């Protein structure tokens, strides 16, 4: 089946099995291997991408049903929130083995897009579905808070931004 998807800002046309999950289309057809396969049954979150800005499990989404939507993967996570999360992750070494981390970064990005100032409860709720066998949860939580702080500073520094007195 021919399908066209908007992935990372570009229309990509592929000819693939009608029922192909988005995860395999990304990885096998488009070589976007930053999105990881962990379980294939919606249990681990390693495959998290953004679909229309919402954290979504690419292993559970039929690629054909994502036509007409905007898909963002870790390779192009360039929103202000995505950049802030990535910068903090790099600067503070949130990752350990790294396998779960593209899912962590995408879920954290989606959270900050929806809630720029999440408390521990909101973070735990948003991130609970992204499993880390290395136990980086505390660093992930700290990283999200630091990214939120950075976004706040960026907004205050922007022309017309609000300034504390
Ligand atoms: S691979 Fe999709 S949730 Fe585990
Ligand atoms: S960093 Fe190893 S699984 Fe999360």
Nearest-CA residue for atom 2 of ligand 2: 97
Q: How many domains does the chain have?
A: 2
Residue whose CB lies within 8 A of the most ligand 2 atoms, among 98, 106, 143, for a mutation test:
98
165 within domain boundaries: no
Among 58, 76, 94, where does a domain finish?
A: 76
pLDDT, tens digit, for every residue of 122-151? 999 999 999 999 999 999 999 999 999 999
122 burial level (CB within 10 Å; 0-12, 13-18, 19+)? middle
Q: Which residues line ligand 2 (CB under 6 A)?
A: 95-101, 132-134, 136
CATH code of residue 61: 3.10.20.30
pLDDT averaged over the chain?
96
Centroid of ligand 2 to alpha carbon of 124 (angstroms): 17
CATH number, position 99:
1.10.150.120
Residue 163 pLDDT exceeds 70: no
- Domain endpoint, select from 27, 56, 76: 76
The values of phi and psi at residue 132, to 5°, are: -125, 115
User: Per the domain annotation, does 29 fall within a domain?
Assistant: yes
| Cβ–Cβ < 8 Å for 64, 87 | no
Q: Are 72 and 35 in contact (CB under 8 A)?
A: no
122 alpha-carbon distance from chain centroid: 16
Query: What pLDDT does residue 160 have?
Result: 76
Q: Tell me the mean pLDDT in the region 47-76.
A: 98
Task: Give 162 or 102, the one with higher predicted confidence.
Answer: 102
CA 106 to mean position of chain CA atoms: 1
Range of the domain at 41: 2-76
Q: Which residues pair with 131 in a beta bridge?
A: none
Same domain, 8 and 46: yes
């Amino acid at each position: 089946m021919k399908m066209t998807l908007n992935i990372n800002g570009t229309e990509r046309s592929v000819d693939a099995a009608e029922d192909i999950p988005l995860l395999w289309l990304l990885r096998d057809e488009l070589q976007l291997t930053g999105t990881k396969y962990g379980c294939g049954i919606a249990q681990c979150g390693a495959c998290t991408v953004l679909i229309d800005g919402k954290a979504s499990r690419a292993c559970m989404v039929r690629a054909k049903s994502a036509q007409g939507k905007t898909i963002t993967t870790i390779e192009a996570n360039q929103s202000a929130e995505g950049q802030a999360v990535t910068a903090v992750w790099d600067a503070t070494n949130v990752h350990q083995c790294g396998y779960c981390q593209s899912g962590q970064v995408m879920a954290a990005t989606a959270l900050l897009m929806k809630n720029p100032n999440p408390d521990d409860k909101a973070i735990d709720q948003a991130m609970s579905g992204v499993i880390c066998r290395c136990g980086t949860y505390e660093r992930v939580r700290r990283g999200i808070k630091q990214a939120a702080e950075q976004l706040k500073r960026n907004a205050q520094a922007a022309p017309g931004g609000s300034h504390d007195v």
